[in-house]
Amino acid sequence: MNPIWPCFHDPAYRPTHLERLDIHWKANLRMLRFPRDLGLFTVISLIPLLLLLLVAEWFPGPFQSGTATPRAPWVELESIVPAFVLLVLVFLVLQHLAFVTAMNLTYLHHVRAVLRDRGIPLCEQCGQLLSPDRPESACPECGHRRLATTLIDLDSPKNGEPLGHPSQDAAANHPQNGIRR
C-alpha cells in the first residue's frame, strides 16, 4: 500500500486526461452504491480531526490566548506561532495519510472495477496489466486470481452463478423455469 498516493493501475496503462476523468467519475458513482465503503472512508478521513480535538483538549497552549500577565499582542503571537505552525503541518501530513489510506481501502477497487468494465485486463488486487488473451489467469505480479462472480453476476437470474452457467442454459430451455427478472 503506497502511503503517498494510491496506485490505481499499472503505469503501463496510460489513459488520456478525459478518460481518467471519466474513469474516476464512474468509480465515484459506483462507490456511492456501497454504504460500507462510504462509511469507512468518512470515519478514516475524520480520524486526524478527532486527534486534533484531543490534542487541543490535552495541550491547550497554542489554542489559548491571554496570559496572567498582559503582554503586547505581537509578543503573544510570537510565542504561539511556532507551535501552531508545527501543529498545522503535522495535521496536514496526518490528513493526507488518512485520505490515501481511506482511498486505498475503499475507493481503489472501484476504479479497478470500472477499468475492467472498460475491457482493461487488470489485476483487481495490485492493478498489474494482465495478458489480454488470458485475463482470468493468475496475476504474474501478486498471484491473485479473479473470482468468477462479479457485481454484474449478482444481478443475473441465478445469484452467485456466472452468466452462461450451465444451470441457466437448462432454465432457459424450460420456459416455466426460465423467468428472468
The residues that touch Zn ion, with contacts defined as CB under 5 A, are 123, 125-126, 128, 139, 141-142, 144
Min dist. Cβ of residue 62 to Zn ion (A): 46
Min dist. Cβ of residue 97 to Zn ion (A): 24
Q: CB within 8 A of 122, min separation 6: which ones?
A: 9, 10, 13, 112, 115, 116, 128, 129, 130
Nearer to Zn ion, 24 or 144 (CB): 144
In whole angstroms, give the CA distance from residue 79 to residue 73. Answer: 10
Min dist. Cβ of residue 113 to Zn ion (A): 14
Nearer to Zn ion, 103 or 139 (CB): 139
Min dist. Cβ of residue 131 to Zn ion (A): 12
Nearer to Zn ion, 144 or 165 (CB): 144
Grid coordinates of 39: 462509511
Q: CB within 8 A of 140, min separation 6: which ones?
A: 128, 130
- The β-bridge partners of 118 are none
Number of other residues whose CB lies within 10 A of the CB of residue 94: 15
Nearer to Zn ion, 22 or 141 (CB): 141
